[in-house]
Amino acid sequence: MKTICNPLIGLTLTLAILVGCTSDSVMQPEPCMEVLTYEAGVDQLIQNNCNLSGCHDGSGGVGNYNSYQGIQRSLENGQFKQLVLIERSMPKGQSLSEAEYEIFRCWAENNFPQN
């Protein structure tokens, strides 16, 4: 009886592990229905939330987001995407609405078009 129980216990544990292990699926965001370019709306969002005195207005050492060329380095090196979309740590002292995050997400997914 002892030799029959050990294989049955092993088989039961193996099946429990296999059945219990499933692949987790991460929900993907909805595809972008409308993609704004920098010049067709994203610039205003940046001006209203990022290009503020003491932030990214060019008066300090943290970047000048007065133009596409001013923000381009942060777009290319991934800093904008990391801080705004992933960490959501920018803008400092305020938060974006979900609609604003969605505009930035779609802009990023389409490689930050200028015009």
Domain spans in the chain, listed from the N-terminal domain onward: 38-109
CA distance 21 to 104: 36
Mean pLDDT over residues 66-73, rounded?
94
What per-residue confidence (pLDDT) applies to 111?
94
Check whether 54 has a pLDDT greater than 90: no
Contact yes or no for 54/93 (Cβ under 8 A) = no
- Look at phi and psi of residue 44 and say left if phi exceeds 0, alpha if psi is from -120 to 50, else beta: alpha
Residue 6 confidence class, pLDDT cut points 50, 70, 90:
low
Average pLDDT, the chain: 83
Residue 55 confidence class, pLDDT cut points 50, 70, 90:
confident
Mean pLDDT over residues 62-90, rounded?
93
Q: Would the pTM of this model clear 0.75, i.e. be above it?
A: no
